[in-house]
Structure 1
Amino acid sequence: EEFFDESTMSVHLRVGLEPMAKRGSVGEMTYGRIRETPVTEEELTSLAADIDDSARISPDGFVELDEPGMTIVQFRDLRIAVARPPFADAMEITAVRPVVKTELDDYAYADELRERLAERQRGVLISGSPGAGKSTLAQAVAGYLADEGFAVKTMEKPRDLQVDERVTQYTELGGRMAKTADSLLMVRPDYTIYDEVRKTDDFEVFADMRLAGVGMVGVVHATRGIDALQRLIGRVELGLIPQVADTVVYVEAGQIETVYDVKTEVKVPQGLMEEDLARPVITVADFETGRPVYEIYTFNRQVVTVPLEDESGRESGTERIAKQEVEREIRAIARGHVEVEIRDPDTAVVWVEDDDISQVIGKGGGRISDVENRLGIDIDVRTFSDRPEGHGHAGGDAGEDSGASGAGGAGAGEIVTPDITSRHVLIPMEGYEGETVEVRADGEYLFTATVSRGGEVQVSRGSAIAEELERAVDRGRAITVVPS
């Protein structure tokens, strides 16, 4: 505690290095030295022994985790991790504490969120980047719910939320949160705060409890509000997502920046015109204005998240999806280069090589009519030789100039080499773990994906996305990735 002052969030002690600390306010932390002399091994060993003894003896502390090489204790409001070799390359002690305790009234949208939480049990995802103040907001929500007479529990590992004594804090039971959830379902809390929802097992437990009728508030790492919702895709059946999470709150620098309302309706997705294209669509709307900002739906066997507005002047998400699908269909027919322009929501112009135009149109226009009927869009097929001067095809094969009308050009992003295995197409993305990226071929948008913790994007072979990606690789197109 000698290293902490009122503004200190965390202290970092490592053998042979000067003590360091993070200090400041939420969202405005600085990391710097707090002592000139390095920490010695004897000093750190003695401090670790004191921490362990205090946690086991004092009623103010407990041992959260005790494994070879790592001990985590909670002592008063401090969470302390002691790492030792061989788990760590050197002995290290990290102590973290909350620098601020807030109430729901301290945030924007407080009145609206209170009304929403009290109306009925909800599924809420509190999202933001590390250190943005997600857990601090979760603590404020727990306090409000307890004040309103709701039975509130938490699920945490480690248990470090600073909550009212009326809120019982649970951790893993037998090493599994699923067992904790089974126990909580026996006592039927009104709301459970889950800090944090990170792995697939966490999302499944969160969904199971929510579908059982328990109000759930989950803390999720995400760089955008929509990313928190996308992390449910593939882990929860698409049609159930609004039942699992009907509210997304995005926190930045300790303040609520965005709140999304999530609903499902059967409709024709925005930008598609044919009535027979109606399908279940998850609509993500701005909570304050009620204006839809994203749609999530299944299109041609893949789940797409389409932004409905783009203030940068680039093509909209709907246009990118439409271009992708038209290109996929035409490239399955044509042998040479193909480019697509989306003129309006129900019209596209396709440019092909002279040798391919009859093949694409088909006898009596039958082949292109089939494509139009499948996609619900009118397609005008033209040759590159008919293209106005200054907009023509540069010539050569698809690998030479496939990105003339692409989103950002072939040079944008980092060039990668996909690895095609018997079951998957793997795109190496080391350094982008957890980020959302766009995958492009010669600058043309293919799809959006989230990079796994292993540093790769994995696409199952046989899917529409994999087929398009493999076709691009076979034709020598440059595969690039761009942070979304």
Structure 2
Amino acid sequence: MDILPDTSAVIDGRVSERVAADDVDAVYVPEAVVGELEAQANDGRDSGWEGLEELQRLADLADEGGIELEYVGRRPDAIEKRDAGEGEIDALIRDLADRHDATLLTSDVVQSEVAQAKGIAVEYIEPRTDDTTELTLERYLDDETMSVHLKTDVRPMAKRGTIGEMRYERIDADPLSEAEMRSIADNVLNVARTATDGFVELSHPGMTIVQIRDMRIAVAEPPFADGIEVTAVRPIVKTDLDDYEKADALRDRFTERQRGVLISGAPGAGKSTFAQAVAEFLNDSGYAVKTMEKPRDLQVGPEITQYTELSGSMENTADSLLMVRPDYTIYDEVRKTSDFETFADMRL
């Protein structure tokens, strides 16, 4: 049997596993796959390095005489790379499988379905997942910890204390090694992708921001940062309007539906904490409430739907909400000019 893997199968390490089943004669690796892995590795993404390690395992198997290994096809051009999300590179890989009369090996369900529809022999393998939901960085947390700051070759730091009396302090005497930081970062990303209460909010080469339970966690990596860094922030207090001065006046103000309210203050002043108290008050008062957030980290009840950017734009989110017509919209993190323009368009 001859097989031709796509990028998903190589990254998951499924090709060498398949070879170990003793029924594979030849493995054809598309140059398009090598190009994707190389680009991911250059961007500092673990998936790229994992895929390159799998290619090395295949090379070792070929040297031992276990399989015939051949690199086939060509690198995708600039246009094909640009349109990768529309399936251009996947199409190149399918054509190669057909040309070499090889079984396409993939962990991509869409790739599998398209190949079957086109009459190409395909073997779909479930993508590998890590079922752990425990965060290793939680060992640094206690009831008074608002944020944890971890970085390669630096001693762990944290902000601890009560509201108004926060201290930025060392929480361990030993600096974290690169291997320890890599393990912590990988654990964060795995939990965000597999846990039911986690999701990836933002992902760029060198920076990933996730939300796991009540924690917003930023993972920075070279070349964007000068070392692996993980910053986890969480609320240590949840308030309601009764916790604020002039609570009765605030209630009257927020139910005057002819006017919007802009909450302003310095970073860390408690704007989002106050906003979520307002959202809960309005929801409890019988109003339909939605939020617009990036990232989505307001601690509100499940009755309040939390929206983020739609197709990369808060303007699109606003257009959708104008159709949904909630009674109130909470727009958290109004910072850029475009945010204020969207705020104005929403007539908040």
TM-score past 0.5 threshold? yes
Within a 5 Å distance, the mapping from 1:148-159 to structure 2 comes to 148-159=285-296
What's the counterpart of residue 194 of structure 2? 57
Structure 1 match to 2:152:
15
- The answer for the alignment partner of 1:89 in structure 2 is 226
Task: Kindly indicate whether residue 257 of structure 2 is the aligned counterpart of residue 136 of structure 1.
Answer: no
- After superposition, give the CA deviation of every residue in 1:27-64 in whole Å (9 maximum; x if it has no partner): 32110100000011111111111111111111010110
Which residue number corresponds to residue 320 of structure 2?
A: 183
CA distance in 2, matches of 1:167, 1:129: 26
1:73 is matched with: 210
Once the two structures are superposed, the pairs formed by residues 124-273 of structure 1 within 5 Å of their partners are 124-210=261-347, 216=348
- Structure 1 residues 132 and 43 mapped into 2: Cα distance closer, same or farther (>3 Å)? same
SS at match of 2:346: helix
Distance 1:176 1:28 in 2: 37
- Name the structure where helix makes up a greater proportion of residues: 2
What does the per-residue CA deviation read over 1:231-250, in whole Å, with 9 as the maximum and x for residues that have no partner? xxxxxxxxxxxxxxxxxxxx
Report the equivalent of 2:178.
41
- Matches for 1:446-465 after TM superposition, within 5 Å: none
User: Separation in 1 of the partners of 2:226 and 2:259?
Assistant: 44
Q: Deviations for 1:118-165, whole angstroms, at most 9, x for unmatched residues?
A: 232431111111111111000100000000111111111111110111
CA distance in 2, matches of 1:170, 1:206: 15
Q: Amino acid of the residue matched to residue 142 of structure 1?
A: A
| AA matched with 1:175 | G
**Contact persistence 1:54–1:61 (CA under 8 A):** yes
Which residue of structure 2 aligns with residue 119 of structure 1? 256
> Does the CA-based 8 Å contact 1:10-1:23 persist in structure 2?
yes
- Structure 2 portions without partners, runs of 5+: 1-137
Kept after mapping to 2: 8 A contact 1:55/1:63: yes
Contact 1:152–1:192 under 8 Å retained in 2: yes
Aligned partners of 1:27 and 1:133 also within 8 Å? no
Name 2:165's counterpart in structure 1.
28
Distance 1:134 1:172 in 2: 20
Cα distance in 1 for residues equivalent to 2:188 and 2:242:
36
Q: Give 1 or 2 for the bigger CA radius of gyration.
A: 1
Q: Post-superposition shift, 1:24?
A: 1.4
What is the alpha-carbon distance in structure 1 between the residues aligned to residue 323 and residue 221 of structure 2? 39
Aligned to 1:110: 247
> Which digits, 9 at most, give the CA deviation of each residue in 1:183-226, with x for residues without a partner?
1111001111111111110001001101xxxxx3xxxxxxxxxx
Aligned length: 211
> Quick one: structure 1 residues 45 and 204, their matched pair in 2 at CA, closer, same or farther if it must change by over 3 Å?
same
Q: Which residue of 1 aligns with 2:49?
A: none
Bigger relative contact order, structure 1 or 2, given CA contacts below 8 A and separation 6+? 2
* Alpha-carbon distance in 2 for matches of 1:157, 1:176: 10
What secondary structure sits across from 2:295 in the alignment? coil
8 Å contact 1:26–1:132 — kept in the other structure?
no
The aligned amino acid for 1:64 is E
Which of residues 204, 229, 236 in structure 2 aligns to 1:99?
236
Distance between the aligned counterparts of 1:183 and 1:121, measured in 2?
21
Question: SS state of the match for residue 128, structure 1?
Answer: coil
Measured on the aligned residues, the alpha-carbon RMSD in Å equals 0.9
Matches within 5 A, 1:420-459: none
CA deviations 1:437-477 (Å, max 9, x no partner) are xxxxxxxxxxxxxxxxxxxxxxxxxxxxxxxxxxxxxxxxx
TM-score for the superposition, normalised by structure 1: 0.43
Give yes or no for contact 1:23–1:30 (8 Å, CA) kept in 2: yes
Aligned residue type for 1:62: F
Equivalent AA in structure 2 for residue 133 of structure 1: G
Work out the CA distance in 2 between the residues paired with 1:4 and 1:73. Answer: 18
Q: TM-score, normalised by structure 2?
A: 0.60
Distance 2:269 2:254 in 1: 22
Q: Which has the higher strand share?
A: 1
Gapped regions of structure 1 (runs ≥ 5): 211-215, 217-484
